[in-house]
Structure 1
Amino acid sequence: MYDYDLLVVGSANADLVIDVERRPAAGETVLGGDLAVHPGGKGANQAVAAARLDARTALLARVGDDGHGRLLLDSLGAAGVDTAGVLVGGAPTGVALITVDPLGDNSIVVSPGANSRLSPEDVRAAAGLFRATRVVSAQLEIPLETVVEVVRNLVPGGRFVLNPSPPRELPAEVLAACDPLIVNEHEARVILGDACVGGEPADWARLLLAGGPRSVVVTLGAEGALVCAGADVTRVPSVRVDAVDTTGAGDAFTAALAWRLGAGAALAEAAAYAARVGAAAVTRRGAQESYPTAEEVEALCGAVPGDARTAGRAADGAPVAGERGGSR
């Protein structure tokens, strides 16, 4: 029996958000709305999203001894995240500069701050957290050598979920542990490079799987997601909602999927639930503030269908190959 449903190892940032009529091109200045400061960071986001769904969640991260760090600790605590693994001091809290356009799409620049100090030694010192959970989720807003150490500290039979954001080349040891590797369209293109030219998302999923992960999920924004494990690619549809702000929606998806896997769900079933959580999240502004409870997900999106089809066909019966989705 494990004490936690999910351990998240990753970043914690303050999100500095400005609404803009359109995102600036290179060398261009645009006027925006008032600055809003929200708790964020892919690691903290995932921990809060899972806890809001009633998952027993712990976070291993670093924040600064400053106002942004206190904002993050307050948000994590309010959501019910165990913050015993959140280390304080040594560098300023990480900051993300985010612009959001009228369609809810965003552009993000991250200053890592304390996140860059989360070390392999910190992972080894948190051995008790790793022994207390079977599912561990990570991202790449922390040093890659720290992610490698996370893989080495998984409990026997443990499951590792990775969103390689921002994308970079991954060592074989990390790829082999991913179950699943979760990427959006942009991340898939960066990782695959020329191999994805002319292909469709279903082809990308198969190519990514051939690179070493145990399973792959490609998120397609409003078009749902593709799940690839073995020869089959399963299309998981999303739920149509009026998007207000997509900031942190991918983190909500990853958190929900990781939690459902830990609860024993099959990958396609977990992804179907995660797509609903992500859809609910984009109907509100901010990242952590937007994350729904399980009751809110069901009220907005309905129950999760239990008959997602495989064998290269979409859940609604349409072929997977040839379908394209927007990137979120």
Structure 2
Amino acid sequence: MPRRNGSDVKPSDLSADTAVAVVFFRPSAEQVARIVERFAGRMPVLVYDNGGIPPDALARLEAAQGVVRLGEGRNRGIAAALNALAEAAIAAGVSRLFLLDQDADTTVETARALGHALDRAAGAQPPPALVGPAPAPKPGHKAPVYPPRPGVPPRESLRPVEFLATSGSLVDLAAHAQIGPFRDDFFIDAVDLEWCFRAWARGWSCWMDPGTAIPHSVGRGTLRGRFLPVTMPDQPLFRMAVYVRNTAYGWRLPHVPLRWKVKQAAYLPLQIGLYWSRHRFSPRVLAHLLAALAQGLGGRLGRPADAPP
């Protein structure tokens, strides 16, 4: 199947109610194969190529039934990729989008379970924008924590949460159109957090289904402080700097609750300290993170200069 831009996807390409949307960036052939084997021919699949798909895996994608590839093989960041996938799905008449990253270990059955969960949440107030799985443990990685949303009661087994990771979440595209796109000037980190807080502020809600779980990981491992009360993902310096920048910028946003800003204002210096110690107190590393903090506080966002191509 030839590559297509989002504007070229026709309704006949995606006839089902729910489509799978996957962002690939330098995936292994095994990661691509897993998506094809589990979803192609069973659900419509939209793939965004942020670059680095192995040639054999790319050929397999293009030959797979019901798979549409978007993007030009250039790294535009996770937010821009998700927005392109959502736009293509909406244009094709799809109403729900099952968002995955290339690491996600999940199945069609998970998408169906989340579809049922979104149906059960449909009568909630505020109405649901998305529902996602609980994080399952993954050896060597810190599982994310999704704080409960204060003042909103559970609905059956579903739990209202402040935010969820985009990967594994089932998004209502009508809600997405009202809430607005993911912030592409964030590029990668905290994209999901900001969007969910914006959803709550605009009269929508986010839900976790504890009965559905998938492993979720960030980074290449976990850092644990010996003397600091903090555990965090171990990430490349580029990723850590973007996280610091976007977290600091979040303090400027009116729809991010004060309770979260206070928590992050206390937690972020500990994370910077732990990451700095991991890198043997390198002056270069500290200078890079402090520059990122200043960029966030000053509202200087966009594609980082050291982002991988």
TM-score in terms of structure 2 length: 0.29
Q: More strand by proportion, 1 or 2? A: 1
TM-score in terms of structure 1 length: 0.28
